[in-house]
Structure 1
Amino acid sequence: MGDLVAIFHASFHPTRGNVIDWSVTASGDFNLDNLEFSALPSGLHLVEQDIVYFSKDGHQGVCAFRRVKSTEDGHRGFRLSSLGVLLAKSTRPKPWRHVAALKDLMVMLYVRMELTETLQPSETDWQPSRMYFESHEVKSVDLGGAGDWSGWSHELDGENRDRSNMNPTLHLPHLLRILGPSTLTLYKHIIGRKRTLIYTLPPVEAACILCHVAADFCYEQQVDATSNRLPGKNKEGIQVLGMITLSDIDRLQAESKSGRGWIACTTDALFLERPSYYDLLIDLTTSTPNKATRPTFYSSQPILPTSRGPTHRLSTVRFAWSDVKLWNELDRILQLDSSNSHSSNFSCCTPGFSDVSDQKLGLITAWTDSLDRLLER
């Protein structure tokens, strides 16, 4: 499927910071400014590898990050780099379909450099990535219908369904276990098109996946005109921004004015001190592998401003007791998949997990049915 409009490589330079040092685009005037920050968010140097989802000017994207050993001056023994792609705009882009290829391309890139004992990639080293882009470059504006929305039955059971663990929607059962009853709090904010920010520590793949899964909660109610689409000015689903950094503050303000709502994740702790930029904050750093502690939810509340003082403060949000009955039903459904334990990370993101069972597809359908009951309340 040809759906790519750009491929790029971002790396950390000891004197220039994050830079894009190689790229190929579908058109010469395609803007890649600031993608280097999304592809290399703060703190990623602490992990060996990761997957980062992001967006740029309405284009969804994803990159594979690697920390590789280097003897290059100024790099302190490691080279930090990400190979990423941007997809053409469509009703429902699927950046996760390129994750496996990006991982392979990163391995090929640095294996060749190690074998030739070179410090900087040559044009030959970039050739496999260039060939991948050319074979997946967008050929038609409508993507031949590949980016259309035809309902969950088509997405999960259609001819082109994605049964691998790369599809974020299929991680829903794990998300439910992590959030517990607070899942319903998140659902209400997404259906209300609120601005939702997820704070995490590296690795960030689970938080990025959570962004997409949370948007899927209400996708059908927000975009499907043939069903009970909620009335409103927006005919598109809530905007999934993916990974954001402090360089995106102006962008957040612009997105907030659209009324479409957005969900994003970040590793920048400074956002915790700027609650005016979002409505709901989910702090994943408070979650532990046992059920004793879960992610903490905070609501951004306006306060009477003082001279140069804050205009908003964070207030802890707890699930409503009226949601307990519905959650108990969902929890009963989750017990059907008792083989997967609660974890602060998505266990299905670990190497070795490849397929999603029909049972998990059934759990997703059960979740959708339960949400329909919530809408009727």
Structure 2
Amino acid sequence: MVEQSDRAPLLDWEEIPPTKLSQAKENGTDSSPPGRRPLGSTASTISCGSPAVVTAVPSVNGSPRLDYPGPWDVPSPIHADPGISLKERVGWEERDQIVSVFVVTFDTRSGNMVEWCLPPDVNLDGVEFKSMASGSHRIANDFIYFRKGCYFGLACFANMPVESELERGARMKSVGILCPSYTLLYRYMHFLENQVRHQLQCPGSYSPLEAFYEDKKAVLAPAGTGAVPACPTSGWFPAINRCMHPEMKITHPAGCMSQFIRFFGEQIMVLWKFALLRKRILIFSPPPVGVVCYRVYCCCCLANVSIPGVGVSVPEFRPFFYINVADIAVLATEMSYVACTTEKIFAEKKELYDVYVDNQNVKTHRDSLQSLLRLNGADRDKYRKLSEQRQMLLYTQEVDGDCTSNEEDLFILFFMEQNNRIFQTLSEVAGSEDPTLTEDHMRAMGLDPQADRAFLVDLMEVYNVDAMLVVDNPCCR
């Protein structure tokens, strides 16, 4: 059964002081709840306009492995060793790189406006609408992931009743940050939640935000490029299990993959095909928008491929998270993206998207994609296998107390392996003396020889695969 609720339970965020953390490690205690990992543990951070770079990253056994940035080029899983710390495991330490911190308020005369920011000369045009989603006046609080140029943002919104005619009985604010990578944003959720409450109760008290920015600010590149020096945080490390993070309890999209798939049920297989084809996917939902931003991230994870080189020539599958009407001009230039919105007007802007998701209803206005909306036997079989693997995992965790894997790892690796199987087969056929795909090849890829024919033809065209389907075979007509 598909869950009808539009809300996913939020995960906690707690930053344990270093002293308590060291004591916990000495005592061998683990305070992290199951399945909590930092966003970025399963795929690659997407940078703005930068080419893919192959980076040597130390592996657990000391030999180098290649890290291929991009949602289609993801390295092999890092296997946990309880005796090796996270920093030793990946060979780097995430650095605080906050580009900007800001406060947005709703003014009854002027509407949304940036009330305060650091640095004072940073370009925040439009951030006042990204940080306070349309329709937010009807809810008490929310959090919003968004994209601003080459940066990603996280803002926490709160709405507090006040006895003031000037404010019309309600005070609404958002406190947010900009960062070059959304793998770092989860760190500051709790801080932003506290600060937006503080701003509601004590408007104009910016000292904590000033101290925060001075402590976490990014070192920008010279010559006014606005770029932040690259660091290995741009690599996502797949299947880093929760045993590596005993000090963290966090709120982030990676923690919602299981809720995402349970919410959509078998329709996840439809979204998977559209994601693999790099279509423009727009998700509509009324506020709160935080959980919907999680679905944007999860959609991107469906297209992961760990075969080096696959997807280099295709459009980048870009997560835009929350968007509004101010983003229309930008979206008009995008060939591939996933985004969410609370504004119904986008449903009428059909030139901006290929796939429109309203709650659990996946739709497309393009005739060439209509056949992909219909589930076939191979789709149902894959979903059944996914469900069986999940049940086995839950049984193992309950009976054996096994913490070496979790639902997020299982779901992401399931689709990665499915994608790998498809592209490995296509690569082998295209490189053979007879580059012809048969019924056996399609079955080997986990596809329906008849119902998935149009999908496979589109896939080969998008990824420039030089092969052909058998046209005189009844199974492929």
* Deviation by residue 1:256-295 (Cα, 9 ceiling, x = unmatched): 2xx4x111100001111222210111111xxxxxxxxxx0
The CA RMSD over aligned residues, in Å, is 3.0
Are the aligned partners of 2:302 and 2:416 in contact in 1 as well (CA < 8 Å)? no
Q: Specify which of 100, 117, 136 is matched with residue 6 of structure 1.
A: 100
Aligned equivalents of 1:314, 1:22: Cα separation in 2: 47
Per the alignment, residue 15 of structure 1 pairs with 109
Q: CA deviation at 1:316?
A: 9.8
Per the alignment, residue 349 of structure 1 pairs with none
Alignment of 1:268-283 (within 5 A): 268-283=343-358
Per the alignment, residue 45 of structure 1 pairs with 137
Aligned equivalents of 1:61, 1:359: Cα separation in 2: 32
Per the alignment, residue 234 of structure 2 pairs with 148
Q: Specify which of 318, 334, 337 is matched with residue 239 of structure 1.
A: 318
Per the alignment, residue 300 of structure 1 pairs with 365
Greater Rg, structure 1 or structure 2?
2
Per the alignment, residue 284 of structure 2 pairs with 199
Per the alignment, residue 66 of structure 1 pairs with 158
* Deviation by residue 1:24-77 (Cα, 9 ceiling, x = unmatched): 12xx54310011111112111111000111010021111000001233434220
Q: CA deviation at 1:140?
A: 6.5
Q: Specify which of 399, 411, 418 is matched with residue 374 of structure 1.
A: 418
SS in 2 for 1:300: coil
SS in 1 for 2:365: strand
Q: What fraction of aligned residue pairs are identical, expressed as a percent?
A: 21
Q: Specify which of 377, 391, 401 is matched with residue 335 of structure 1.
A: 391
Q: CA deviation at 1:360?
A: 9.3
Q: How many residues align?
A: 316
Amino acid at match of 1:250: A
Q: CA deviation at 1:369?
A: 3.8
Unaligned runs of 5+ residues in structure 2 are 1-94, 222-227, 396-400, 422-444, 446-477
Aligned equivalents of 1:198, 1:359: Cα separation in 2: 33
Aligned equivalents of 1:8, 1:316: Cα separation in 2: 43
Per the alignment, residue 253 of structure 2 pairs with 168
SS in 2 for 1:3: coil
Q: Specify which of 218, 221, 225 is matched with residue 138 of structure 1.
A: 218
Are the aligned partners of 1:62 and 1:95 in contact in 2 as well (CA < 8 Å)? yes
Are the aligned partners of 1:296 and 1:316 in contact in 2 as well (CA < 8 Å)? no
Aligned equivalents of 2:387, 2:262: Cα separation in 1: 8
Q: CA deviation at 1:301?
A: 1.6
* Deviation by residue 1:240-265 (Cα, 9 ceiling, x = unmatched): 111111121101112x2xx4x11110
Amino acid at match of 1:99: M
Amino acid at match of 1:164: K
Are the aligned partners of 2:144 and 2:289 in contact in 1 as well (CA < 8 Å)? yes
Aligned equivalents of 2:402, 2:247: Cα separation in 1: 12
Amino acid at match of 1:326: K
* Deviation by residue 1:144-169 (Cα, 9 ceiling, x = unmatched): 8352315214x546967985341311
TM value normalised by structure 1: 0.75
Q: For the structure 1 residues 338 and 358, does the alpha-carbon distance in structure 2 shift closer, same or farther, using more than 3 Å as the test?
A: closer
Unaligned runs of 5+ residues in structure 1 are 114-120, 285-294, 304-312, 340-356
Amino acid at match of 2:324: T
Q: Specify which of 364, 368, 379 is matched with residue 323 of structure 1.
A: 379
* Deviation by residue 1:304-334 (Cα, 9 ceiling, x = unmatched): xxxxxxxxx9999343332000100111233
Are the aligned partners of 1:215 and 1:238 in contact in 2 as well (CA < 8 Å)? yes
Per the alignment, residue 345 of structure 1 pairs with none
Q: CA deviation at 1:373?
A: 4.5
Are the aligned partners of 2:179 and 2:185 in contact in 1 as well (CA < 8 Å)? yes
SS in 1 for 2:299: helix
